[in-house]
Amino acid sequence: MNSVEFLRPESWLTDGGGPRYVQLRRRLEQGIGSGVLPPNSSLPPERELADVTELSRVTVRKAIQELVREGVLEQRQGSGTFVREAVSRVEQSLSRLSSFTEDMSRRGMETTSKWLERGVFAPNAREASALSLAEGDEVARIYRLREAGGQPMALERASLPLDILPNPLDVKTSLYEVLGQLGQRPVRAIQKISAINLGATEAGLLGVVEGAAGLSIERTSFLESGRVAELTRSIYRGDAYDFVAELRL
């Protein structure tokens, strides 16, 4: 069955089935789940969808926009609307202090990075406060797009005092591996997690639509001595990550 035949309304559009855009959304989801609409396939143009489904273009547009917001479909400028390739969700424990590279390696996933910023800078107010820097101190900063299994997963910006990371160019893959070699690996951390909607820049880098759900995580890490070693601010794709914590009585 091709997509046009699948979307003809006789077999799924009913008076008692709820709002028409909801019924169309469900039908599109069924088509994606069953493989009638496979990953990276294009939907018929909006006008053609309206003709085939016997619905208004406003109804068709509303159903499509909901699926775009949910990350099921994506709209490519000048090309149309496409079924997004499913992203494997990753569970990350909140009880283990580990690096992105270590987390993905345990799952058998190869990681890559695209560097967005890496060097020595004058600290901003947040960095100076969190890292207890003195006036005139500089900060090592690395900012990169983290990918696993060929998929963009997170944006990670880490800031560290220069005596803990003297040369940020030494970081090729795992920051914590480099810190371990320097005898400066953190042993504990405090994390703050917030739900956000991704702005245009972050969404573009992560390969999702503007406004898609994301997770903002700020982590302050400490050495065994109690000194703050690292301030990391990361943005994770909301459709790719589940954070899990074990609770005990």
Structure tokens given for 179: 């810190």
CATH architecture of 90-244: 3-Layer(aba) Sandwich (3.40)
Pick the CATH number of 3-83 from 1.10.10.10, 2.60.40.10, 1.20.1250.20, 1.10.3720.10: 1.10.10.10
Sequence-ordered strand ranges (E) for the chain? 73-76, 80-83, 90-93, 111-121, 139-148, 151-161, 188-197, 213-222, 228-237, 241-244
Q: What is the pLDDT of residues 106-143, one digit of tens each?
A: 667 777 889 999 999 999 999 999 999 999 999 999 99
Average pLDDT over residues 174-199: 93
Structural contact between residues 130 and 218, judged by C-beta atoms closer than 8 angstroms: no
Q: What is the pTM of this model?
A: 0.66
Query: Domain map of the chain by residue range?
Result: 3-83, 90-244
Which of 63, 72, 82, 74 minimizes the C-alpha distance to 33?
72
Greatest mean pLDDT among 83-87, 146-150, 223-227: 223-227
Which of 30, 68, 13 minimizes the C-alpha distance to 209?
68
Distance between CA 76 and CA 85 in Å, rounded?
Answer: 14
Q: What is the pLDDT of residues 46-103, one digit of tens each?
A: 999 999 999 999 999 999 988 888 778 888 777 889 888 766 666 666 667 777 777 7
